[in-house]
Amino acid sequence: MTTEILCLVLAAGKGTRMRSASPKVMHPVAGQPMVAHVLAAADALAPVRRGVVIGPDMEVVTQAVAPWPTVVQQHQAGTADALKTARGIWAGFDGIVLAVYGDTPLITTATLKALAAAVDQPDRPALAVLGFRPDDTTGYGRLVLTQDGHLTAIVEHADADADMRRIGLCNAGMMAFDGRRLGELLDAIGNDNAKGEYYLTDAVAIARAKGYGAVVAEGPVEEAMGINTRAELAKAEAVMQGRLRDRAMNGGATLIDPATVYFSADTVVGRDVTIGPNVVFGPRVVVEDEVEILSFCHFTDAVIRKGAIVGPFARLRPGADIGPGAHIGNFVEVKNTTIGKGSKANHLTYLGDARIGAGTNVGAGTITCNYDGYLKHLTQIGDEVFIGSNTSLVAPVTVGDRSNIAAGSVITRDVAEDALAIERADQTQRPGWAKDYRARKAAEKAARAKTKP
157 is a catalytic site residue: no
- The four Cα atoms 420, 426, 431, 436 give a dihedral, to 10 degrees, of -120
Residue 197 has pLDDT above 80, yes or no: yes
Tell me the β-bridge partners of 344.
327, 361
Rounded distance between C-alpha atoms, residue 357 and residue 382, angstroms: 5
Q: What is the mean pLDDT of residues 274-302?
A: 98
Q: What percent of the chain has pLDDT over 70?
A: 100
Q: State the Cα angle at 73 between 67 and 78, rounded to 5°.
A: 120
Tell me the β-bridge partners of 287.
269, 304
Rounded distance between C-alpha atoms, residue 49 and residue 65, angstroms: 14
State in Å, rounded, how far the first CA of the chain is from the last one.
94
Q: What is the mean pLDDT of residues 135-159?
A: 88
Tell me the β-bridge partners of 6.
49, 97
Rounded distance between C-alpha atoms, residue 167 and residue 187, angstroms: 30
**Amino acid symbol at 329:** G
Residue 1 has pLDDT above 70, yes or no: no
Q: Residue 317 gets which letter from DSSP? A: -
What does the pLDDT read at residue 385? 98
Rounded distance between C-alpha atoms, residue 134 and residue 120, angstroms: 26
Which domains does the chain carry?
A: 5-224 (3.90.550.10), 230-421 (2.160.10.10)
Residue 453 has pLDDT above 80, yes or no: no
In 382-435 the beta strands, taken as DSSP E runs, fall at: 386-387, 392-394, 397-399, 404-405, 410-411, 420-421
Q: Is the dihedral of CA 363, 366, 370, 372 positive or negative?
A: negative
Q: What is the mean pLDDT of residues 296-323?
A: 98
pTM above 0.85, yes or no: yes
Q: What percent of the chain has pLDDT over 90?
A: 88
Residue 285 has pLDDT above 70, yes or no: yes
Per-chain mean pLDDT for the chain: 95
Q: Which residue has the higher pLDDT, 81 or 161?
A: 81
What does the pLDDT read at residue 111? 98
**How many residues comprise the chain?**
453
| Ramachandran angles phi, psi of 33, nearest 5° | -55, 140
List the catalytic residue out of 37, 150, 327, 347: 347
Q: What is the mean pLDDT of residues 320-331?
A: 98
Q: What is the mean pLDDT of residues 66-93?
A: 94
